[in-house]
Structure 1
Amino acid sequence: MNKLTWYGHATLGLETGGHQLVIDPFFTGNPAASASAEQVSPDFILVSHGHGDHVGDALAIAQRTGALVISNHEIVTWLGKQGLKKVHGQHLGGGHRHPFGYLKLTLALHGSMLPDGSYGGNPCGFLLTTNDGKKIYTAQDTGLFGDMRLIGEEGLEVAVLPIGDNYTMGPDDALRAVKMLQPKTVLPIHYNTFELLNQDAQAWKKRVEGETGARVVVLKPGESFEF
């Protein structure tokens, strides 16, 4: 059994095969956060890009827990300069078998400057094949792109998509993404953190379920679902 938790904004927790992961650990300063950085103890941390609301508390959590941080080469090099030793760098299209499954970094249309202005490399999403064979795609921050069709060919159990608009896909493009990805279940994220990102997730759920075969799970920050 796999368990996915939405902590608010684009911060996710994943329990799979006895391993604990946190994706884009933005707790401190996150008005939507349902937990503090001190309340999570992951074995692995995934960082999709360099913006402060995604790198977030990665360094502090990794230093406290000894978690391995996985991101692109530029971000793990930057974290190494902050004193972090346990890092693993990958890049777009590249996969690696970790203890929790096979993780591939996917394209994302976004930016990636790090909090201190350093170059953060290319932003990414994550395509994970768990050890029990479930495929999970977390798009993180991205606009719509046509190669989502190729990701959909993988046969997705779960897709996690931003719907907040302005910085990422909005509801219309996220619906188009679902049609290309064809997942069994969809989780909307990156909305209602700030006024600029306000969206009606229940209205989006009705649209998606009315026009696709996907089930939409709308969580409140701190809630989880199992698959």
Structure 2
Amino acid sequence: MRANRRPVMPFLALLALLLCLPLQAQAKTPTELTWYGHAAFRIKTPGGKVLLIDPWIGNPSNKRAKEDLAALKQVDLILITHGHFDHVGDAVEIARKTGARLVATFDLGNALAQYAGYPKEQMGFDTLGNFGGELTLLDGEVKVAFIPAVHSSTVTAPGGQDAHYAGNPGGFLISVRNGPTIYHTGDTDLFADMALVPRFHQVDVMLLSIGDHFTMGPERAAEAVRLVKPRVAIPMHYGTFPVLTGTPEAFAKALGGRHNGLRVMQVGQTLRF
């Protein structure tokens, strides 16, 4: 009996190792974060899912906009923080091309379908929510929590002049399985309740507006970093228009050297976490 059992143990050990290999490989695959300029980002998860946030790919800062749009053959989710044109951007074109589902508040989703032409069948109870709620999406690959923002939100039809109500503006807290938790602030001013975010989720990467005029500027953005305490802080929404006068240099100065996780991305650059 003992002689017959001995070959079984090495086989079982080998089988267990082989079963673990896919999980280990996925755990070692980084999450990719690409900046297209302004507030537009692409996230690719370790499992290969693709998310776009505020996809104004054709913004003036992106000199490779045409090529970048053509390269977006797979997009699983499009997340939009609020209805302004510089955040809705190319969402409708990309959605029609890829079938991407919309992640937004119910009010914004309805406005985008009614006035901007976003395919209504590509949104629903699974992807639309509201502040305080969290969605589990893509078979658990990501979780998206809705975070308030201090700003405004309207949708204008293509070629139109009238602005239509689009609910309250917001930001997103995106938790990636086997990856980082990313807080995209949207277009917001500093507000004290930002300090509540890390009580529920440790933020690994914070994408925050620093441009001033329409959002918080460098000094208020630096205070937002102190409230949220992210491991990495990445400035966005600056320099696209002349009125957005905030700069990464001013942001770094406002941080006062007390945050060594500051990363200033170049348009088109990809970071891996």
Q: Compute the displacement of 1:83 (Å).
A: 5.8
More helix by share: 2
Letter of the aligned partner of 2:104 in structure 1? Answer: S
Q: Compute the displacement of 1:136 (Å).
A: 1.1
Q: Compute the displacement of 1:198 (Å).
A: 2.8
Paired position in structure 1 for 2:142:
101
Matched, 1:35 2:96: no
Contact 1:24 / 1:45 at 8 angstroms: preserved in 2? yes
SS in 2 for 1:21: strand
Q: Compute the displacement of 1:207 (Å).
A: 4.1
Matched, 1:197 2:260: no
CA distance in 1, matches of 2:254, 2:219: 9
Paired position in structure 1 for 2:3:
none
How many aligned positions are there? 225
Contact 1:209 / 1:215 at 8 angstroms: preserved in 2? no
> Cα deviation per residue 1:115-135 (whole Å; 9 max; x = unaligned)?
131111111100011112521
| Change in CA separation of 1:156 and 1:109 when aligned onto 2, cut-off 3 Å | same
Letter of the aligned partner of 1:103 in structure 2? Answer: V
Identity of aligned residues (%): 36
Structure 1 length-normalised TM: 0.93
Matched, 1:89 2:128: yes
Q: Which structure has the bigger radius of gyration? A: 2
Q: Compute the displacement of 1:203 (Å).
A: 4.1
Paired position in structure 1 for 2:45:
16
Q: Compute the displacement of 1:90 (Å).
A: 1.1
Contact 2:221 / 2:251 at 8 angstroms: preserved in 1? no
Q: Compute the displacement of 1:8 (Å).
A: 0.4
Contact 2:112 / 2:155 at 8 angstroms: preserved in 1? no
Paired position in structure 1 for 2:228:
181
SS in 2 for 1:149: helix
Contact 2:205 / 2:231 at 8 angstroms: preserved in 1? yes
Q: Compute the displacement of 1:219 (Å).
A: 0.9
Structure 2 length-normalised TM: 0.78
Contact 1:5 / 1:223 at 8 angstroms: preserved in 2? yes
1:44 corresponds to which of 46, 59, 77: 77
More strand by share: 1
Letter of the aligned partner of 1:4 in structure 2? Answer: L
> Cα deviation per residue 1:192-222 (whole Å; 9 max; x = unaligned)?
101111333134235426123x411101111
Q: Compute the displacement of 1:167 (Å).
A: 0.4
Superposed, which structure 2 residues align to 1:1-150 within 5 Å? Answer: 1-17=30-46, 18-28=48-58, 30-33=59-62, 34-36=64-66, 37-41=69-73, 42-81=75-114, 82=117, 84=119, 85-87=121-123, 88-99=127-138, 100-116=141-157, 117-132=163-178, 134-150=180-196
Contact 1:205 / 1:218 at 8 angstroms: preserved in 2? no
Where relative contact order (Cα < 8 A, 6+ residues apart) is larger, the structure is: 1
> Cα deviation per residue 1:34-54 (whole Å; 9 max; x = unaligned)?
423333232111000000111
SS in 2 for 1:126: strand
CA distance in 1, matches of 2:244, 2:265: 16
Structure 2, unaligned runs of 5 or more: 1-29, 158-162
